[in-house]
Amino acid sequence: MIGKNEKSHAMSDKSAPDFKNKFHECNDRFHSIFNLTSAASKIIDGDLTILKVNPALTELLGYTAEEVEGTKIMDYACKEYKNYWHQLQEAMWQKGQPFFKLDACIIKKDKSLAWVHVTTILFKEDDVSYGFTILDDYTYRVNFDESEKRLNMALQYSKMAVWELNFEKNLFIYSEGFDQIFGYQIPLNDWNKETLLNQFMTEDKKRLRDLLSGVKNDLNLDFQGMVKTPDGSIKWVHLQGRTEKGADGKPERILGTIYDITKEKLAERHKDDFISIASHELKTPITALKASLQLLNKIKQSPNEKLPGLIEQANKSMIKVSVLVEDLLNVSKMNEGQFQLKKTWFNVLKVIEDCCPHVNADGLFNIITAGSAETEVFADAERIQRVLINFVNNAMKYASDSRDIHITVQKIDNNVKVSVIDYGRGIPTEKIPYLFDRYYRADLNGGQYSGLGLGLYISAEIIKKHHGEIGVNSEVGKGSEFWFTLPL
């Protein structure tokens, strides 16, 4: 049965001298099926030596028949399958099991892997036992499963899912993660066109319904809408899709993607809010500056006693504008990672004393400094001063009723700790974790204080860059201590 190509281990084996004759007797029908079938097949002897392989198997393995015949299939098996495969072989050859089946992985000539369903059947010819094996290649299935898994993971990471609506059959198919996009932790299971539409808020539902009714013609769907989730929160989703035509040339179904754009929408809103706050914040000092300049213009020919006051007013407004602009520039520099420190050795107490002449000058507040006079640090003096100014300005702004502001310097282990303490209204505990976030303002709804919510964020970035720590201790009604440390 084995046929012409009998260069094999078994052939050269003197213990089986007559197999050649036996296989020459093989019937032609089997021979041609063996050679023509697309199922990779081989014939082995009791030694497990491959006597004969068909072209489908050589194609699968990438070796020629000459290379394979005379070897053992176990030589090609992936390590983790060898043991089990061997046990099955033994059960068949030694314990007389008529056949065995297993799924295994084999290594091809090009070192790539092939996944096969193996079926080996024992048969006898002239009292000699042989094994006939079919290796059914299902690598495509493994690869398909893998790529499907990868695709599903990628879709989930990108908060995206794919869907298909067959509007003729009202059939709705979707990938993993579709339910979660709509906020369902337990899958909804009965998705169809109506359930999809029902997720959207009234106006958006109407818009989407109108768009989907256009499916009868060619449609390029691009829709963003607001969804009310089962827990009552609002989400935004983006649906995109295209119609596909059936065999009759008419649009049959729509294939598309859906992704959660809540974050982007919130960021967009945040940005809009921020632009309007920033414009408002800039407008106030600019209006004051404009008024001072107009008055100065009026009296330029005959200056009177109002002149110094007007110049001072104009200067104050100018300082406010430049502080705001500087904050905005700092934030964008930090975002772009172009934020470099200019470090020098300096005395911490000296920087504190120099930081806030504007405070004592007004006479409304009183800065009291205490701490070790000789503490020197290696840091960016200008930026550390910026942090101090932020803390002190906040103390004046948010603790305006309390006159005294204490600044202390302490050496703790290998760090220096600087604290700015006020005796104002303090900050509620639940707001403290957010204080150093960008744009965060604890009194956003109070609206009585001006600001962009950037001062503490910028301060935290500066201290982080110095490998120090920043924090706050505060008690409502008692006051706040804003502090930072720098390594010595």
Q: Which of 131, 225, 455, 468 binds ligand ADP (CB under 6 A)?
A: 455
By CB under 6 A, how many residues form the interface with ligand ADP?
A: 21
What is the rounded CA–CA span in Å between residue 472 and residue 285?
Answer: 30
CB nearer ligand ADP, residue 264 or residue 437: 437
Q: Which is nearer to ligand ADP, 161 or 427 (CB)?
A: 427
Going by C-beta distance under 8 Å and a sequence separation of 6 or more, which residues neighbour residue 221? Answer: 211, 212, 239, 240, 241, 242, 254, 256
Task: Determine which residue in the list 177, 225, 251, 424 makes contact with ligand ADP, applying CB under 6 A.
Answer: 424
285 binds ligand ADP (CB under 6 A): no
Q: Are 60 and 42 in contact (CB under 8 A)?
A: no
Distance CA(372)–CA(410), nearest Å, equals: 7
Beta carbon of residue 281, minimum distance to ligand ADP (angstroms, whole number):
8
Q: Which of 301, 255, 20, 83 is nearest to 161 (CA)?
A: 255
Is 330 near ligand ADP (CB under 6 A)?
Answer: no
- Which of 100, 422, 484, 485 forms a contact with ligand ADP (CB under 6 A)? 422
For residue 472, CA distances in Å to 421, 424, 487 come to 10, 14, 18
Q: CB nearer to ligand ADP: give 123 or 449.
A: 449
**Binding test (CB under 6 A) with ligand ADP, winner from 155, 239, 388, 427:** 427
Nearest 5°: the CA angle 469, 470, 476 is 145
- Give the DSSP letter string of 110-156: TS-EEEEEEEEEEEEETTEEEEEEEEEE-HHHHHHHHHHHHHHHHHH
- Site stretch for ligand ADP (CB under 6 A), options 52-60, 80-88, 294-302, 454-462: 454-462
Give the count of beta carbons closer than 10 Å to the beta carbon of residue 341: 13
Q: Of 40, 181, 435, 462, which one interacts with ligand ADP (CB under 6 A)?
A: 435
Tell me the closest approach of the beta carbon of residue 369 to ligand ADP, in angstroms: 17
* Residue 351 C-beta: closest distance to ligand ADP, Å: 19
Q: Does residue 420 contact residue 392 with C-beta atoms inside 8 Å? A: yes
Going by the DSSP 8-state scheme, the letter that residue 43 receives in this structure is E
The nearer residue to ligand ADP, 133 or 480, going by C-beta atoms, is: 480
Cβ contacts of residue 88 below 8 Å, gap of 6+? 97, 100, 102, 120
User: Looking only at residues 466 through 485 of this chain, which bind ligand ADP when binding is defined by CB under 6 A?
Assistant: 480
Query: Which stretch, 110-118, 121-129, 213-221, 420-428, contacts ligand ADP (CB under 6 A)?
Result: 420-428
| Segment lying near ligand ADP (by CB under 6 A), choices 133-141, 251-259, 353-361, 422-430 | 422-430
**Residues 349 to 408: which contact ligand ADP by CB under 6 A?**
390, 394-395, 398-399
Please identify, using beta-carbon distances, which residue of 379 and 392 lies nearer to ligand ADP: 392
Binding site for ligand ADP (CB under 6 A): 390, 394-395, 398-399, 422, 424, 427, 435, 440-443, 451-457, 480
